Structure 1
Amino acid sequence: MQTGRSIIHVDMDAFYAAIEVLDHPQWRGLPLVVGELGPRSVVSTASYEARRFGVHSAMPTLTAKKLCPQALFVPVRMARYREISAEVFAVFGEVTPEIEGLSLDEAFMDVTRSLRLFGGEVENIGRYLKQEIFSRTGLVASVGMAHNKLLAKLASELSKPDGFLRVRPEQVHALLDPLPVGRLWTVGKVAEAGLHRLGIRTVGELRFAEPRRLRQACGNQAEHWQRLARGLDDRAVDAEAAEKSVSAETTFVTDLTTLEQALSWLARLAERVGERLRAHELRGRTVTVKLRKPPFETHTRQLSLAHPTDSTDALIDAGRTLLRRWWEAEKNPSLRLLGIGMSQFAAEVQGGLFVPAAGSDTLADRINRRFGQGSLVRGVVLKSRRSEEKDP
């Protein structure tokens, strides 16, 4: 069993909801749902007061309303959440450079090389993280500590809210064995149901399952799952993990039923993506368009560019090509959701004749940063804004 590393997993408690309460103290203690109430809106997160009623992330907000009629529903304020996230990750950076961010409010850290600076105990680092995050942001973090990522994440999850738990090597089986088998990483709902059919419901039962029988039923995953059941996980904290894609999407209150509407909205979303690409100094080669027909039939289309780019115009052109092809191939096209993204980023881009210039984009970015987002937009984008204003 691996014992040579010290891994910490930090997960902020009900992050978006906690920020809303921080900014609006009068909401403290109320069942709070982050996500606007609407026929196609979903819950981004919910306070623990709302979770007691069965409200959870990704649930339709109308369902959440039925479960908790007295809940307060508030809109998502992503810019504010990113601002607080930057403060939280700044604390992480004071402990170790080996940080693998999973989302705005969650990260793994390998603190093995930092132990001596904190008296040789991983708990000292965990306490420092909790205290500093609370001191600087007023928010509570749950901290899990172990010798691998699997156990560190389980430790933070099992000790929430306001969690603080270290799993020592000699405690692994006592922690894991009673847990439902679905709590293991990579064991999803379908796999869990398959294991149940074999009579395997707990991690301990998986650990002691006969390997040959398990392999016959589960195939190549059998050995992997049994390693996890023993508490074994060789994954390193990937501090070099780069952003794999930049995208923007929106779900419409009223389905889009004309190509003109869809093209206009696509341009609006592409402007968001282009600005993010330039802000992060990223240039990509692959454009992806995401299209969802009502009720939930999702399609994706991709196009690879000749050269990496961060140009909004190049993104719009490629996106329009993909959208037109899909629209013309459909018998009764309509869109419930539309998105566009860029991926396959170049590590380093050489300037040249074939790399689209982004001078006008950069100027637009500066104007929007100075005078407010959306101060300068393309004419085609105004059409999507007008249609949005007409929506009930």
Structure 2
Amino acid sequence: MQIIFHIDLNAFFASAEIAAHPELIGKPIVICRESRRSIITTASYEARKFGIHSAMPLFQAKELCSHLVTIPPHFTLYKTLSQQFFNIVSSFSKKLEVASIDECYVDMTDYIQTCQILPEQAALQIQEAVFRQIRIQCSIGIAPNKFLAKMASDMKKPMGITIINNNNYKEKIWSLPINQMFGVGKKTTPKLKAIGIETIGDLAKHENYEKIRPIFGKNALLFYQRANGKDFSKINYAKNELKSVGNSTTFENDSRDEEFIKKQFRQLSHEVSQRAKKRHLISNSISITLKYTREKSKSKQMIIDQYTNDYETIYATALLLFETLYQGEMLRLVGVSLNNVIHEQDRHEQISLFDNKIQQAHKKQENKTEKIIQELNQALPGIKIMKASSLLEDDQAIQKKYLEKDE
């Protein structure tokens, strides 16, 4: 029988800040920007004692805790610690699936059998290694499948170890409220309660299967099996590959100022290009997002002729999409993304053996960029699009701002 661990870094962003700044130990901290619209990304366990939680508005959290410490996010720090975390876990087993920036599934069967140790001992080794190297606590769920492992890791935090197996899963999960079942969201919960499904145990009953089919549709059997301790999904290594590179920004105040909005697209395009280049990722699909209210947003994408991570191409395409999508409404957020990214080495292009490869590659990219800009200017009469680099008064300042944002 396979032994699956689900490993979850506890209050990751807050814990990362505390690890970097030990003077924050014991203080109630939240991760978000100081703004009237800020929503809390992560709350430390000390802050949670006051009833503060993620997705809570900052102003509300400050009403609950007058001495709350607000820290802006430092994404470069989180990405660095996240990669170190996955590297530590992979030293125990290469059969790892990244679930998010702070959690993963790992098949520990071979390690446990080879070392001839108990699963709890292996979990303790991982916890100790993670805390020793990055000073962050983690909770670990141990089970014969991914679903039960995920449920187990949520049961004891921080620094907990929980085992769920075929003998105790009924005792461990059947009494839990249905909203605590992994995969059951806020919209599905009231629908289930309306038909009498209050707990995971209710969902597991055979006589309720026909009731849940209209709610879960084609996934009804999947949820029914999981409620009964069964999950046949495998560790998915493909999930470890980044599928898109995108950035967005929320305005301090809603705006319909097109010059201001285009400036945001310019900055976002620069950031997306830099991130993609650092990872040697390219794409031929570029999209933008316009958000009007919390509930209303629009997105549009364009497939271009060549794979790229070029700043100017991303920016020019984003502007074209904006011009075709925007109708003058007030906006609160804009975003830019490269979708379905691939690694540069996976691009298969025929290059003539008679060409000087380096010169031709540069010339080819330059010509394509010029062609795209020319086509955009023809398609948008009255709008002048030029190379983004010529619009920048101080490229170093933008790079510095980018680095400061991600520190």
TM value normalised by structure 2: 0.83
Alignment partner, residue 246 of structure 2: 247
The one-letter code sitting in structure 1 at the alignment partner of 2:331 is L
CA distance in 2, matches of 1:258, 1:93: 48
| Pair 71,224 (structure 1): closer, same or farther in 2 beyond 3 Å | same
**Mapping of residues 24-63 of structure 1, within 5 Å:** 24-63=21-60
Q: Where does the alignment leave 5 or more consecutive residues of structure 1 unmatched?
A: 362-376
CA distance in 2, matches of 1:252, 1:205: 45
Alignment partner, residue 345 of structure 1: 341
The one-letter code sitting in structure 2 at the alignment partner of 1:227 is Q
Checking the alignment, whether the CA contact within 8 Å between 1:267 and 1:381 is kept in structure 2 is no
**Mapping of residues 75-154 of structure 1, within 5 Å:** 75-154=72-151
1:279 aligns with 2:278: yes
1:357 aligns with 2:357: no
Alignment partner, residue 190 of structure 1: 187
- CA RMSD after TM alignment: 2.6
1:226 aligns with 2:203: no
| Pair 217,165 (structure 1): closer, same or farther in 2 beyond 3 Å | closer
Map Cα deviations across residues 26-81 of structure 1 (whole Å, 9 max, x no partner): 32211111112211222120111111222222222122222322211111111112
Query: Secondary structure of the residue that 2:136 maps to in structure 1?
Result: coil
Checking the alignment, whether the CA contact within 8 Å between 2:152 and 2:164 is kept in structure 1 is yes
Query: Secondary structure of the residue that 2:187 maps to in structure 1?
Result: helix
Checking the alignment, whether the CA contact within 8 Å between 2:312 and 2:389 is kept in structure 1 is no
Query: Secondary structure of the residue that 1:237 maps to in structure 2?
Result: coil
Query: Secondary structure of the residue that 1:100 maps to in structure 2?
Result: strand
Shift of 1:176: 1.4
How many residue pairs end up in the alignment? 365
Alignment partner, residue 296 of structure 2: 297
Alignment partner, residue 331 of structure 2: 335
Checking the alignment, whether the CA contact within 8 Å between 2:173 and 2:201 is kept in structure 1 is yes
| Pair 72,284 (structure 1): closer, same or farther in 2 beyond 3 Å | same
1:23 aligns with 2:27: no
Query: Secondary structure of the residue that 1:160 maps to in structure 2?
Result: coil
| Pair 305,153 (structure 1): closer, same or farther in 2 beyond 3 Å | same
Checking the alignment, whether the CA contact within 8 Å between 2:31 and 2:41 is kept in structure 1 is yes
Query: Secondary structure of the residue that 1:158 maps to in structure 2?
Result: coil
Shift of 1:294: 4.2
Shift of 1:216: 5.2
Map Cα deviations across residues 8-30 of structure 1 (whole Å, 9 max, x no partner): 11111111111222233232211
Checking the alignment, whether the CA contact within 8 Å between 2:195 and 2:211 is kept in structure 1 is no
Alignment partner, residue 214 of structure 1: 212
TM value normalised by structure 1: 0.86
The one-letter code sitting in structure 2 at the alignment partner of 1:230 is N
The one-letter code sitting in structure 2 at the alignment partner of 1:214 is I
CA distance in 2, matches of 1:19, 1:58: 19
Shift of 1:256: 3.0
- Percentage of matched positions with identical amino acids: 26
Q: Where does the alignment leave 5 or more consecutive residues of structure 2 unmatched?
A: 352-359, 370-387, 402-407
Query: Secondary structure of the residue that 2:318 maps to in structure 1?
Result: helix
Checking the alignment, whether the CA contact within 8 Å between 2:151 and 2:182 is kept in structure 1 is no
Checking the alignment, whether the CA contact within 8 Å between 2:150 and 2:182 is kept in structure 1 is no
